[in-house]
Chains A and B, each alone.
Chain A
Amino acid sequence: ETGVTQTPRHLVMGMTNKKSLKCEQHLGHNAMYWYKQSAKKPLELMFVYSLEERVENNSVPSRFSPECPNSSHLFLHLHTLQPEDSALYLCASSQGGRSNIQYFGAGTRLSVL
């Protein structure tokens, strides 16, 4: 049982496709995150939304487009991706505050052909 749910679990797409990753949190948190996890590299923070406003964008290419329609849902829209974008994409949420503990979903494994 997880408080952060990501769909789909696996996604294969061509370089010209458009797809979206979805994240939903059931924890009542007010911040949501997208991370990229590639082999042999530390997790990379991509985007942060707090109270539905984007507060961090770590030099992510424009082919990744986040959307946060409300505090429970977060999307990552993908278009014209490159093979090097193949990775595990993790969503997290937190309540903010001093410790700001982040809780993660199980990720979407993305393969770009």
Chain B
Amino acid sequence: AQTVTQSQPEMSVQEAETVTLSCTYDTSESDYYLFWYKQPPSRQMILVIRQEAYKQQNATENRFSVNFQKAAKSFSLKISDSQLGDAAMYFCAYRRVDSGYALNFGKGTSLLVTP
């Protein structure tokens, strides 16, 4: 079974600064997707960014970007120019392309943004 590890239970960043959240995963597959989801206090899980394993170029969505290291099985999320609204739980998730539907989640990182 694939496992997803987020080694930072909590992180803190000041407004306007940059923070990087770590994620590693274990798989023997070559075709898969990786995701970062954000869960604010409202509880709704929101997709932040996704990365297809076959694409070498790192995905970017506005202030959010990833550092995808396929050989190292690492998928970190960088948040630039942090805003108060970025405070939330962040979950890394993995999905095999040919396995149907299952998303494997990490335990999450709680991000605190201070003024």
Residue numbers of A with Cβ under 8 A of B are: 2, 31, 33, 40-43, 45, 48, 50, 55-56, 88, 90, 92, 94, 98-107, 109
Q: B42 on the interface (CB 8 Å rule)?
A: yes
B44 contact from A40, A100, A102, A104, Cβ within 8 A: A104
Q: Are B107 and A41 in contact (CB-based, < 8 A)?
A: yes
Q: Which residues of A contact B45 (CB under 8 A)?
A: 90, 92, 104
CB distance from B25 to the nearest CB of A (A): 12
Q: Are A107 and B43 in contact (CB-based, < 8 A)?
A: yes
The CA of A14 and the CA of B58, in the complex, are separated in Å by 49
Q: Are A42 and B44 in contact (CB-based, < 8 A)?
A: no
Q: Are B107 and A107 in contact (CB-based, < 8 A)?
A: no
Q: Which residues of A contact B101 (CB under 8 A)?
A: 31, 33, 45, 48, 50, 55-56, 94, 100
Residue numbers of B with Cβ under 8 A of A are: 4, 33, 35, 37, 42-47, 50, 52, 91, 95, 97, 100-108
Question: Which A residue sits closest to B108, measured CB to CB?
Answer: A42
A-B residue pairs, 4 tightest by C-beta? A104-B45, A106-B44, A43-B105, A42-B105
Q: Are A101 and B44 in contact (CB-based, < 8 A)?
A: no
Q: Which residues of A contact B107 (CB under 8 A)?
A: 40-42
The CA of A50 and the CA of B101, in the complex, are separated in Å by 9
Q: Which residues of B contact A41 (CB under 8 A)?
A: 107
The CA of A109 and the CA of B42, in the complex, are separated in Å by 11
Q: Which residues of B contact A98 (CB under 8 A)?
A: 97
Question: Which A residue sits closest to B31, measured CB to CB?
Answer: A98
Q: Which residues of B contact A104 (CB under 8 A)?
A: 37, 44-46
Question: Which B residue sits closest to A33, measured CB to CB?
Answer: B101
Q: Which residues of A contact B106 (CB under 8 A)?
A: 42
Q: List 10 A-B contacts (CB under 8 A).
A: A33-B101, A42-B104, A43-B105, A45-B103, A48-B101, A88-B43, A90-B45, A101-B47, A101-B50, A104-B46
